[in-house]
Amino acid sequence: MASALDEPLRRLAAAIAHLTAIDEFFASVDQTYASNKKKLLDLGEAYRSFAQSMYFGSFDRHYQLSDILEYMLISRGSIWAMGADPQRRSAYMRIIFHTINQLLQQEHVTFFPDLRRKFMQFLESKNLQYYVEDDKYKKHYEEAKKFAGILTYEDHRRTYWALDHLLPKSVGTTIELVAYLYLLRNSGGYVVPLLLQQRLLGIRDHLLAPDYLLVVGRKVYGIEVEQLGDTGKVRQSNEFVSETGIPVLTASVPNTIPLRCCVCKRWILFCDAVIEKFCDISQPLGSDRIHCEGCNEEIYHGRLRPGDNEYHYHLRCVQNNDYVQNILVDPEQRQKRLIAYFPHLQGLERLVQPTQ
């Protein structure tokens, strides 16, 4: 079964094989070229660790994988998506939506032990070069493979990471792409993603850049998207502001994105109706959500019994519940309870008109 990025990934692999072939050819026919290659190797540890910064079989590989994915979607993608054709822009946003849905599905390996074991065995069967390179990582990797329950960051720290870092930063990348979609669709300006340029180098020091620059009404703003936990981003932003004079606004993705169904524990994906409406740029969105029934990923927001807290569920996971059935007899409740959310950012209300 092909995935959304199946062919782009194969073509990216072809581009890398192409660059490798160029290098091999010139090293074989040109003495000076070969001596340059030797000088690189003579850099020793510096050159080795530079090479390892592309891909290294240990913790933190998720950043490397996510950067490649974002290079495809955001760097190559924005060049591909430019121009005045609204169809192209719409197709671009669809590609990002389907990739987000797939990222969320990939993350299910943290929750379901069977899927996790099969996934790790599958990766092993691929004989990936440099797959596991460090003993400490290997220990936690093997623990993750054997573990029979839900792996979480809170309870299993390094063992969770050993698994989670095999993926392209699933939830983090999802949040970055949701923010990108929102800014592109709603800001009325030009979006400069700095996701791949987060370190701005000077000769003696560097600046940590915000996630995006937004150019709107002849002004430039930095947009920092909050992720969970203390990320030290406030200090980063302050340094960036004082060095560049560019104001940085902090935004956050609402806690309705992404949503995990409280019954089956799977992520709730962006449904076709949300994708359709969001990608049809001839119509304003008008709101951050829609009432949505009868599509491929229906959501119920509410209780399962009187007095419970309200949560989000796949409708298919709760539709046999008597309380839910009773609630949904009322058309007004159906309007209110069966909803789906657009990509959204909070905190930019003064800058962005949400109805655009």
Please tell me whether residue 324 binds Zn ion under the rule CB under 5 A. no
Taking CB under 5 A as the binding criterion, the range among 43-51, 188-196, 281-289, 340-348 that sits at the site for Zn ion is 340-348
Site for Zn ion in 274-313 (CB under 5 A): 292, 295
Please tell me whether residue 9 binds Zn ion under the rule CB under 5 A. no
Structure-derived torsion over alpha carbons of residues 349, 351, 352, 353, reported in degrees to the nearest 10? 80
Please tell me whether residue 262 binds Zn ion under the rule CB under 5 A. no
Distance of CA 167 to CAs 60, 108, 181, 270, Å? 10, 11, 21, 20
Choice between 81 and 269, CB closer to Zn ion: 269
Structure tokens at 355: 């109805």
- Binding-site member from 340, 345, 348, 351 for Zn ion (CB under 5 A): 340
Structure tokens at 220: 């430039």
Instruction: For residue 120, count other CB atoms closer than 10 A to its CB.
Output: 19
Choice between 235 and 291, CB closer to Zn ion: 291
Taking CB under 5 A as the binding criterion, the range among 72-80, 132-140, 187-195, 315-323 that sits at the site for Zn ion is 315-323
Taking CB under 5 A as the binding criterion, the range among 19-27, 52-60, 271-279, 342-350 that sits at the site for Zn ion is 271-279
Contact 221, 190 (CB under 8 A): no
Please tell me whether residue 314 binds Zn ion under the rule CB under 5 A. yes
Instruction: For residue 180, count other CB atoms closer than 10 A to its CB.
Output: 27
**Residue 136 beta carbon to Zn ion: minimum distance, rounded to whole angstroms:** 36
* # chain residues binding Zn ion, by CB under 5 A: 10
DSSP E strand boundaries for 114-189: none
Choice between 37 and 108, CB closer to Zn ion: 108
- Binding-site member from 317, 324, 328, 345 for Zn ion (CB under 5 A): 317
- Binding-site member from 73, 261, 339, 345 for Zn ion (CB under 5 A): 261
Helix (H) / strand (E) element for 302: namely strand 299-302
**Residue 264 beta carbon to Zn ion: minimum distance, rounded to whole angstroms:** 3
Distance separating alpha carbons of residues 15 and 346, to the nearest angstrom: 39
Decide the pairing of beta strands 259-260 and 339-341: unpaired
**Residue 295 beta carbon to Zn ion: minimum distance, rounded to whole angstroms:** 3
**DSSP secondary structure of 259-271:** EE-TTT-PEEPPP
Site for Zn ion in 39-98 (CB under 5 A): none
Contact 285, 181 (CB under 8 A): no
Choice between 80 and 111, CB closer to Zn ion: 111
**Residue 195 beta carbon to Zn ion: minimum distance, rounded to whole angstroms:** 28
Distance separating alpha carbons of residues 193 and 132, to the nearest angstrom: 31
Binding site for Zn ion (CB under 5 A): 261, 263-264, 271, 273, 292, 295, 314, 317, 340
